[in-house]
């Protein structure tokens, strides 16, 4: 079994990514650690617990940082719904997270099995950055860290230059990107191209007819409304599931090794991921950037994992 640890700001697309990992027959999810992002920490924890229960698993869910390192949280409830899960009336209260802070769980789980554990991050990098500050050996102990975040080519989704996960806690992202950790980056541009689900494709997923497909499609309701109103696009993007698909099977993408730096601080470039495409700065590359993820392979994998 491959061993994963997933750090998530659980909202609608995170939940689908969690479901994919939890239902992958050759993956054991050691723990899920939660960070504030798309929604505040408490609903994010509840959303993760609900998803684990839906999948019939006992995977421990640990709460982490309730805000970015230096900033107040700017959440994405206007995108994913007030409850983060499309506001479709799911019972998202009353479940109990496991004991132990997410930061300690990340350190203890990964550093007690050097080279064994894949870390997949689906939200702001606050938990991972604090874990690195507390235990820098984390960077060499993790097998690899697959990050949903950044925009390497196209404009961002939160500012013209930044993607949400990096923008929300750019100082954390800078710490992670400069840590020496083996990083795979699945950026926003791949989400909106290879990770985009049209309504026709969505109907096919829903027609699989399991509780998993009903859940995965149903919780995208507010995202569909938001995208249509704000961009005119009909359908929805699945950034976190796309990153999870790359973590599950890297052969669905091409990886290009590049230098990627994060702009911390305030100002118009806050949270930008600057990719040195031609290596003109002469800095050592630090990230494998996913380019041209196969939309077909992604959707095939997703559909398979939504079956009974
Ligand atoms: O920008 C994409 C990120 O924000 C993902 O983490 C996803 O959950 C979204 O809302
Ligand atoms: Ca997320």
Q: 19-75, pLDDT tens digit by residue?
A: 999 999 999 999 999 999 999 999 999 999 999 999 999 999 999 999 999 999 999
pLDDT of residue 154: 78
CA 114 to ligand 2 center in whole angstroms: 26
Distance CA 290, CA 239 (A): 12
The number of distinct structural domains making up the chain is 1
Which tens digit of pLDDT belongs to each residue from 130-168? 999 999 999 999 999 999 999 988 789 999 999 999 999
Distance CA 17, CA 22 (A): 9
**Residues 289-300, mean pLDDT to the nearest whole number:** 97
75 C-beta closer than 6 A to ligand 1: no
289 backbone dihedrals φ, ψ, rounded to 5° = -90, 130
CATH number at residue 15: 3.90.245.10
CB atoms within 10 A of CB 60: 18
Helical segments of the chain, H only: 12-22, 41-54, 77-80, 102-111, 126-134, 138-141, 164-168, 170-177, 188-193, 199-206, 211-218, 221-231, 239-248, 295-306
Contact criterion met (CB below 8 Å) for 301 and 204: no
pLDDT of residue 153: 86
Residue 9: active-site member = yes
Bridge partners (DSSP) of residue 62 are 33
- Name the closest-CA residue to atom 1, ligand 1: 164
Q: How confident is the model at residue 270 (pLDDT cuts 50, 70, 90)?
A: very high
189 C-beta closer than 6 A to ligand 1: no
For 192, the 3-state DSSP assignment is helix
The ligand 1 atom at the shortest distance from the C-alpha of residue 12 is: 8
Distance CA 45, CA 25 (A): 24
**Residues 265-279, mean pLDDT to the nearest whole number:** 96
- pTM for the whole structure: 0.97
CA 149 to ligand 2 center in whole angstroms: 9
Domain range enclosing 155? 2-305
């Amino acid at each position: 079994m491959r061993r994963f640890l997933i750090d998530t700001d659980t909202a609608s697309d995170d939940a689908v990514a969690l479901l994919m990992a939890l239902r992958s027959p050759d993956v054991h999810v050691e723990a899920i650690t939660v960070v504030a992002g798309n929604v505040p920490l408490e609903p994010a924890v509840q959303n993760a617990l609900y998803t684990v229960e839906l999948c019939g698993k006992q995977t421990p869910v640990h709460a982490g940082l309730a805000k970015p390192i230096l900033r107040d949280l700017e959440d994405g409830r206007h995108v994913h719904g007030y409850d983060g899960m499309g506001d479709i009336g799911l019972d998202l209260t009353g479940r109990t997270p496991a004991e132990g802070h997410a930061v300690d769980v990340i350190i203890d789980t990964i550093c007690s099995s050097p080279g064994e554990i894949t870390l997949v991050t689906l939200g702001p990098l606050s938990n991972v950055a604090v874990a690195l500050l507390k235990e820098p050996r984390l960077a060499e102990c993790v097998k690899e860290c697959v990050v949903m975040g950044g925009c390497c080519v196209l404009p961002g989704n939160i500012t013209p230059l930044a993607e949400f996960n990096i923008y929300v806690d750019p100082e954390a992202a800078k710490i992670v990107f400069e840590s020496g950790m083996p990083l795979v980056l699945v950026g926003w541009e791949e989400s909106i191209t290879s990770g985009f689900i049209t309504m026709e494709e969505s109907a096919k997923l829903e027609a699989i007819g399991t509780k998993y497909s009903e859940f995965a499609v149903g919780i995208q309701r507010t995202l569909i409304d938001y995208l249509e109103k704000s961009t005119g696009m009909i359908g929805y993007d699945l950034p976190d599931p796309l990153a999870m698909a790359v973590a599950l099977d890297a052969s669905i993408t091409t990886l290009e090794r590049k230098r990627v730096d994060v702009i911390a601080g305030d100002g118009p470039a806050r949270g930008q991921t600057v990719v040195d495409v031609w290596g003109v700065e002469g800095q050592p590359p630090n990230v494998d950037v996913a380019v041209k993820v196969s939309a077909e392979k992604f959707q095939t994998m997703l559909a398979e994992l939504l079956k009974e």
